[in-house]
Each structure stands twice: as C-alpha cells, then as structure tokens.
Amino acid sequence: MPFSTNEVIDKIFVVVAEDYVTHVKEVIETFKVDKVVDVVAGGDSAHASIIQGIEAVKRDGAKEDDIVLFHDGVRPIIDENTIYKSIKVTESNGNSITCIPAFETVAQSLDKESIDKVTVRDEMFILQAPQTYRFEDAYDLNQRAIEDGIVGQVVDQAELNRHYGKTLYLSEGLHGNVKITFPLDFTYFEFLVKSGKYKEIIEGITV
C-alpha cells in the first residue's frame, strides 16, 4: 500500500459507491490502514465522486497550499517513487499529471470511421494517476465546474484543467500502472500478484 506507507502522505480519503461504504470501512479496519480518515460515498460520475472527496478534504481543514493527489482505485499498481515524483513536480509547478511516453501510434478520428490525424508518437504521452494539485486550485476549479454545469462531462482532473486553460506539467509514471478496465487487465494484475512480481514493481525493482 504505497500511499499508506509513504512518509510524505499524511491523510487518505477513500471515495466509493454508496453501497460499499460500510464494507470498505471494515476492510480498512481489518488491515489497519491508519492514514484513512474518511470513507465517502461518491456521486453518479467519476467527476462527481472527486468533488465529494474534495469536500471531505475541505471539511477536514485542508490548507490552501496543501497538496492533494487524485488516484484511481482501478490503478492498484503504484509505487512510492511515482508518488514522490508527482509531489515534487507539484511543489515546483503547482500541479503534475503522471504519464508515460506513448509506445503506440495515436490517431485522431472525428467521425470514428476515417483517420483525421496521425500524431507524432514522440510527442504523445499516456496520462495516468495520480493527478496532483494544490488544494486551493483543485477546490476552486471544481466549484467552477459545478457553477458552469459541466460536472461529469470531463473524464479526469487533467481534462478539467485544460478545459479552463490551465497549464499542466508532466510527471514520470510507471509502465505497470495500468488502469484495470477489461478482463485482460485484471488477468495481468492477478498474474503479478500470484507470481510475486507485483511486490517487485512497487518496490522499484526491475522485473
């Protein structure tokens, strides 16, 4: 649990579907994850759930210049170095988006039938998590999204920030930090855990 064991992380707020709040609290108690200070019921979209989490952080007394990291539960393969790098870039630039260089060519299609643009691979990056910001910036921008009625219309905080014209800064990610979306992704994760390779990855050992 790289977030709970990382010395630079002070508090953890978990946002889950409302039906799972009690279960998640029981799991946290069983495994003694002491840094978790609140388990919050999410909203009807990923973005709405993030806002619920931000509100919980505010209620807890977060300061304007505190650093907050947004991470996906579907990205369980995360190492402490990635967390450190994300925070360091945010300390210098005000935000950071974890990413890795694209390893396949990315094309753009507006009609989903023909290719409008083939991008230059060396200029493309795959965005991951955590996505990290100063608390004041994250809170204010998400409040603006509520006022403008666009909650749920962006896929993540990176897209939200770009929607409002904010400059975002890249932070080096981890190739293993996959998003578990399809059955094959879960098979990959299951293999890592059963083979012992998961522990090697999150401890920064070359597999």
Quote the CA–CA distance of 60 and 70 in Å, as a whole number.
16
- pTM given for the model: 0.91
Question: In tens digits, what is the pLDDT along the chain, a chain of 207 residues?
Answer: 789 989 999 999 999 999 999 999 999 999 999 999 999 999 999 999 999 999 999 999 999 999 999 999 999 999 999 999 999 999 999 999 999 999 999 999 999 999 999 999 999 999 999 999 999 999 999 999 999 999 999 999 999 999 999 999 999 999 888 899 999 999 999 998 888 888 777 776 443
Contact indicator for 95, 169 with CB cutoff of 8 Å: yes
Q: How many Cβ atoms sit within 10 Å of the Cβ of residue 23?
A: 12
Strands 95-101 vs 12-16: parallel, antiparallel or unpaired: unpaired
